Copies of this chain bind each other. A is one copy, B any other.
Amino acid sequence: MSKTMSTCWFSHTKENMTDKTPPSKCPMHMLTRRSLFKAVGGLGLFAAGAASGVAAKNTSAAHGASTVAFRDKVQGGILTPQQAHTYFAAFDINTNSRDELIQILKDWTNASAEMTSGKLGDSALGLAPSRLTMTFGFGADVFSKGGKDRFGIGSQKPEALVDMPLFHGDQLIPEKTGGDISVQACSDDPQIAFHAIRQIVKLAGTKANIRWSQTAFVSGNGKETPRNLQGFKDGTQNPQASEMNQFVFVGGEGPAWFQGGTYLVTRRIRIALEHWDGMDVDYQEQVIGRHKLTGAPLGMKNEFDKADLKATNADGNLVIGEHSHLRLAAAESNGGSQILRRGYSYNDGSNFTAERWPPWRQGVEYDAGLFFVAYQKDPRDGFIRIFGNMAKFDMLNQFTTHVGSGMFAVPPGARDGEFIGQKLFA
């Protein structure tokens, strides 16, 4: 590995907590806790909260014993250096009783505070939390479903929690889309992420059930930007630590209960890897707009070099093509919009899945791809704007099919004695 591939470091062992690059140059997910402390020190309300929110307490030298504080200004799992595994569950709430919903949220909050602190319960004897975080969000149906204000909170719906538009090429499966409440468990141990969701399910009894769920992972050594299933580094272009209030967290423009919150967009994006794997690396790099080995923008040497979107080659053609993924995702192509991606790869084996592009191969295909997870201050300026553009023009669309979708209003963290979303019911 060249030195240029590891200019940002995140790790949870003291030995590796070296900062070779000023934190302001590192995308959020790459920051060490130490560098994150530095980066957000005194920056503002939510960033300061975030810093303590990601402060992991190493209770022993063992990897798995690390914990991430649950009770803080912003929820864990947003700015937390990305854990290796996730279990994401979208729940349907099977009651229209406000009191019963509040009770569920209280139970889930208490259980999450306990589990993230390492009290995992009888079902997980002998296991360790491994930086477990639990992140909750409210779907639009909690505020109003079929025109009915089920829980008396309809007037509190944040304006930007809009219906997701149908994008060019979408093939959404209803059983993998939507949901009243999202709960994302992240941990470095896949068993712990699943365990935590199982406890949540058990606590809700018949009052809530999983509508859909997704297991996913990131691989790599935990030091460099992780590579997605297409083999490219994914997450290089995330906003800087200093830009969280600008791009991720809701301020005075939102309802009072939602200040310090953020909007979560998830997409289950199948990637036709059987098709991608047949392409030359040169072509793959044209599609993405980056060099595969280094992650550098085309024409550049190092992963974090700034892309030159105007550069042309000897023939006068753009170096970073007009329909490349990098160009279409760039802030410059989207009026300055940025989102905080925290995506995972999923791999559910193989299946008979249809391709929207004229199929190049019949039969069994990989049921695998990107479980896209992104946080933003306003989805209309964030995912909807950026992906609306991509859905029409991105060369990558030849290989991708969006089969699941969710949008959730993720409230601020629950402080001591509060339950998640408490101010929504005040």
Q: Which residues of A come within 8 Å of B, CB atoms?
A: 1, 5, 62-64, 87, 89, 122-128, 189-192, 194-195, 198-199, 201-202, 209-215, 217, 219-221, 224, 227, 229, 231, 233, 273-274, 277-278, 280-281, 292-293, 345, 347-350, 363-364, 366, 368
Contact = CB atoms under 8 A, between A and B. Distances in A.
A348 B349 contact: yes
A127 B227 contact: yes
B198 A277 contact: yes
A210 B274 CA distance: 11
Contacts of A5: 126
Contact of A125 (B63, B199, B293, B364): B293
A125 B191 contact: no
Contacts of A293: 125-126
Contacts of A368: 194
B123 A231 contact: yes
A198 to B, nearest CB: 5
B348 A348 contact: yes
A231 B278 contact: no
A192 B221 CA distance: 12
Contacts of A1: 126
Given A1-B126, A202-B278, A368-B194, A64 B229 contact: no
B217 A190 contact: yes
Given A190-B217, A215-B347, A125 B201 contact: no
Nearest to A198: B277
B350 A191 contact: no
15 contacts: A1-B126, A62-B221, A64-B221, A89-B350, A125-B292, A126-B227, A126-B233, A189-B220, A198-B366, A201-B274, A201-B277, A209-B363, A209-B364, A214-B349, A215-B347
Given A126-B292, A190-B347, 12 more contacts: A1-B126, A123-B231, A124-B231, A125-B281, A127-B220, A190-B217, A190-B345, A191-B227, A198-B277, A201-B277, A214-B349, A215-B347
A191 B231 CA distance: 9
A44 to B, nearest CB: 36
A122 B350 CA distance: 23
